[in-house]
Amino acid sequence: MSRKSDHDVLIIGSGASGGMAAYTLTKLGLKCLMLDAGPPVDLDKSRVLRNVYDLPFRGFGEPGRFPHVTQASEFSANAWADERENPYTYDPGDPYYWVRVRMMGGKTLFWGRASWRLSDYEFKCKDHDGFGDNWPIQYSDLAPYYERVEPIFHVSGRKEGFPQLPDGNVTLDETKDSESVKRFEAACQRAGVPTTKQRRSQGTLASSLNLLLPDAIATGNLQIVSNAVVREITLDKNTGKAAGVHFVDRISKREYYVPVGKALYLGASCLETTRILLNSGIANSSGVLGHYLFDQFYVKGTVQAIVPEAKGGNAPRGLMGGGGYIVRFRNLKEKSKDFIRGYALDFGSGGTPGPHLLPTYGEAMWKQLADLRGSGFNMTTMGEVLPRKEHFVRINRNVKDAWGIPVLHIHQKYTDNEFAMAKDAANTMEELCKSAGFEVLTKHWQMVPPGESIHELGTCRMGNDPKTSVLNAHNQSHDVKNLFVTDGSCFVSGGAQNPTLTMLALTMRASEYLANQMRTQSL
């Protein structure tokens, strides 16, 4: 590839952040070149389902490919980044489950599409309870961008007026709730616990691939290079700005260099972005690059309840089905004595509890399963994790990926605040289920390992002070003036809300800022 650029902006990554950067910048007339490590998606090839007996490992998958991707099966094996080609390390006692997708469109090809806004309880979290740091922006800075991103992603939901979960510019969801959901919501209301419908982007393939990239390509301003595994960014010695990017072709393993143009947009996903910056040795005069790694903890099936009237297959029409969302209610006005911040839950009505939850086996278990069929009421806790400097990623030079690039060593664990929160959620949900007249079959507060929620955040944080942050209030590097980062790595805190809508809104905002800077020759 030539050393002269005919593009204005080089974008790394084609997922939520890279896709939105391309969508916004190309519409503003800027010529963009996008590099992505993955191949283009071949939807026809990936559409064929095979029988389990046709698979070499009978559906269990090839050992070693996905030890940390609990979502992977042999049927979906080509969707996830192969861990033998893309290794990483962690301390033996503290496993991290890093789930990656290396394809055009990134993880948006498979995301659950839950799309919530953050509020000033997150942006101004330190003002609220004294812990951590505020973001350098507040809710009103991002609200106009949420307002424009939601229609692009066809988000539907309800408007409730909760200050801790701002309303969206959504298609109103007026579907009726089942009787069991109404009973549970009534119990929540009696206890002062707010609930709402799910807020979700509509359409199973609501992704960068079909909602962002086609519009960007249609402008004639976007060129995409797939299979380009970025290794390193180099700076211009005179200006200190990003000058070029070295990448390795995924298939041939040949090295290439491409000039940055006027600006570089890095959206390779939270930890890959930080890995590229650390491997390049740039944007880290603060020394905090790689630090403050956090995510959201998940407790799957924290309470498994039974709706008694539905037992024995006797559920009357309209009793079971559907679900909803418990909005954060802890530490808003009152202060919990055991923990700061809060949690939210998804709940769902219907389904049969798994046999592993039953205290029986053999004939008795089959009988119990038949009796409980379709009577389940289940919930998952999603809790805020505190960003701490001592949770970090660093480069492990002893281990390299299939392209010879040093990998990440990841160090994150949950602490007392998260454990206390998870326990509170389980106990509170048990009370609410009982109050709704449900039987509680099991409850627990065992979190999945860090990373498994697939909401990794932090390590390249925003902030006003270049001594304690990597990016400014417009997601521009304090050190490298033509470098922008808007994926999850820029988050200062994360609440309990799924983070992608916020990444999309931040990207639109930063891209418009960048275009403006280029128009006024300020870059």
Ligand X SMILES: Cc1cc2nc3c(=O)[nH]c(=O)nc-3n(C[C@H](O)[C@H](O)[C@H](O)COP(=O)(O)OP(=O)(O)OC[C@H]3O[C@@H](n4cnc5c(N)ncnc54)[C@H](O)[C@@H]3O)c2cc1C
Across 169-282, where does the E strand assignment appear?
A: 171-172, 195-196, 200-201, 222-225, 228-235, 242-249, 255-259, 263-266
The stretch near ligand X (CB under 6 A) out of 2-10, 263-271, 286-294, 340-348 is 263-271
Assigned token pair, 305: 């309840």
Site for ligand X (CB under 6 A): which residue of 488, 495, 510, 518? 488
Q: Do residues 501 and 150 make contact, with C-beta atoms less than 8 angstroms apart?
A: yes
DSSP-assigned letters across all residues of 51-108: -GGGSTTTTS--TTS-TT-TT--GGGGGGS--TTTS--EE-TTS--------STTGGG
Name the residue nearer to ligand X (CB basis): 229 or 320. 229
Minimum gap (Å) between residue 395 Cβ and ligand X: 13
Rule CB under 6 A: is residue 110 a binding residue for ligand X? yes
For ligand X, the closer CB: 178 or 498? 498
Does 79 participate in binding ligand X (rule CB under 6 A)?
Answer: no
* CA dist., res. 268 & res. 36, Å (int): 8
Contact flag: residue 451 with ligand X (CB under 6 A) = no
Nearest to 426 by CA among 305, 281, 276, 331: 305
At its nearest, how many Å lie between ligand X and the CB of residue 8? 19
* SS3 state at 450: coil
Select from 29, 112, 281, 287 the one that contacts ligand X (CB under 6 A). Answer: 112
**Least distance (Å) from ligand X to the CB of residue 382?**
10
Q: How far is the CB of 440 from ligand X (least distance, A)?
A: 27
Closer of 19 and 376 to ligand X (Cβ) = 19
CB 407, min distance to ligand X, A: 11
Q: Does 101 bind ligand X (CB under 6 A)?
A: yes
The window from 108-116, 356-364, 366-374, 406-414 that contacts ligand X (CB under 6 A) reads 108-116
Intra-chain end-to-end CA distance of the chain, in Å: 25
Structure tokens at 265: 């947009």
H helices present in 263-351, as ranges: 270-280
383: closest CA among 342, 333, 340? 342
107 scored as a contact of ligand X (CB under 6 A)? yes
Residue bearing tokens 């902030």: 463
* Minimum CB–partner distance for residue 72 and ligand X (Å): 10
Neighbours of 351 (CB within 10 A): 16
Query: Contact letters (x/-) for ligand X, 342-381, by CB under 6 A?
Result: ----------------------------------------
17 is an interface residue for ligand X by CB under 6 A: yes
User: Is residue 122 at the binding interface for ligand X, with CB under 6 A as the rule?
Assistant: no
Applying CB under 6 A, the span of 9-17, 164-172, 371-379, 474-482 interacting with ligand X comes to: 9-17
Q: Is 498 in the site for ligand X (CB under 6 A)?
A: yes
User: 420 vs 43, 416, 497, CA distance in Å?
Assistant: 44, 6, 19
114 vs 200: CA distance, rounded Å:
4
Least Å distance, CB 37 to ligand X, is 4
| Binds ligand X by CB under 6 A, chosen from 5, 8, 11, 13 | 13
> Which range in 235-243, 267-275, 291-299, 319-327 contacts ligand X by CB under 6 A?
267-275
The answer to whether residue 34 forms part of the interface with ligand X (CB under 6 A) is no
If you write DSSP's letter for every residue of 144-189 in order, what string do you get? HHHHHHHHHTTEEE-----TTS---S-EE--PPPPHHHHHHHHHHH
CB burial class (10 A; 0-12, 13-18, 19+) of residue 253?
A: exposed
Nearer to ligand X, 198 or 469 (CB): 198
CB-based contact 125:62 (threshold 8 Å)? no
Q: Is 14 in the site for ligand X (CB under 6 A)?
A: yes
Nearest CB to ligand X, comparing residues 243 and 503: 503
Site for ligand X in 273-312 (CB under 6 A): 276
37 binds ligand X (CB under 6 A): yes
Pair of tokens at residue 404: 């010879």
**Residue 325: strand pairing partners:** 196, 346
Least gap, CB of 212 to ligand X (angstroms): 10
Strand-pair category, 32-35 with 9-12: parallel
What does the alpha-carbon distance between residue 321 and residue 408 come to, in Å, rounded to a whole number?
Answer: 43
Is residue 36 at the binding interface for ligand X, with CB under 6 A as the rule? Answer: yes
User: Which secondary-structure segment (H or E) carries 35?
Assistant: strand 32-35
Question: How many residues bind ligand X, per CB under 6 A?
Answer: 39
Select 288 or 490, whichever has its Cβ closest to ligand X: 490
| Min separation Cβ 112 and ligand X, Å | 3
Where does this chain touch ligand X (CB under 6 A) — which range of 48-56, 100-108, 119-127, 279-287? 100-108
Contact flag: residue 268 with ligand X (CB under 6 A): yes
260 touches ligand X by CB under 6 A: no
Of 178 and 453, CB closest to ligand X: 453
Strand order in the sheet with 255-259: 228-235, 242-249, 255-259
Segment 194 to 253, residues that bind ligand X, using CB under 6 A: 228-230
Q: Are 227 and 250 in contact (CB under 8 A)?
A: yes
Q: Which residues bind ligand X (CB under 6 A)?
A: 12-18, 35-38, 71, 99, 101-102, 106-108, 110-114, 228-230, 267-270, 272, 276, 454, 487-488, 498-500, 503
